[in-house]
Amino acid sequence: AQGLIAARELGLATTPLDVSDPASIARLVHSLDGRKLGLDVLVHNAGVAFNGFDARVARDTLAVNFFGVLHLTEALLPYLRPHARVVIVSSGVGDRKALAPALRARFADGNLDRGQLAELMRSFVTAVADGHHSADGWPSSAYAVSKIGATMLAQILARELADDPRQLRFNALCPGWVKTAMGGPQATRDVAEGADTAVWLATQTPTGPNGGFFRDRKPAAW
């Protein structure tokens, strides 16, 4: 409902999308085909955070915050125009320091590809379900793990598609603690402040950053 209101105010069209539903992604792709549309900017802003921690929370969190980003990006890659920018709204909560050293080293591997990253994410869900995620080196936070994966995905996509003639750009960011339905009224930033770095990355020049993680328009450690 909020999307419809915003689109009407801006004179834009809107298409509902559930990034965790393959059928919903397929409908979006069909819509783009039908209207002969390409994309200059793709901002992954869908996200969830649940109370508690168990296998269901782990599965449902990663379904949106990581696999939703992965599957939607892969579905829309053919529709990205030259110099298109893909922006992943991640989080500083997704800090690799939360991982045990051996697991952290796997994420630091410069040869890690999309498929291997997806398998790591699935292994976390399995480990939570089997009760040995801590022993395997994972934190007890599905949200943190999902955002580690999302930030890593931006780096991998930038590397894997570096030779694409369209010169695409993939970056992730931390918006800070924002007053949204997820962030709550006690958050320290309003929506405009939270969106600032995403808009900045979405409007970069063709030679802008690629494969980075940013906060307040500056590179950030994670």
> Residue 188 contacts by C-beta under 8 Å, 6 or more apart in sequence?
176, 177
Residue 143 bears catalytic tag: yes
CB-based contact 213:151 (threshold 8 Å)? yes
- What is the 3-state secondary structure of the chain? CHHHHHHHHHCCCCCCCCCCCHHHHHHHHHHHHHHCCCEEEEEECCCCCCCCCCHHHHHHHHHHHCHHHHHHHHHHHHHEEEEEEEEEECCCCCCHHHCCHHHHHHHHCCCCCHHHHHHHHHHHHHHHHHCCCCCCCCCCCHHHHHHHHHHHHHHHHHHHCCCCCCCCEEEEECCCCECCCCCCCCCCECHHHHHHHHHHHHCCCCCCCCCCEEECCEECCC
| Catalytic choice (143, 177, 213, 214) | 143
Q: If you search the block for the tokens 């579905």, which residue do you land on? A: 75
Query: Which active-site residues does the annotation give?
Result: 143
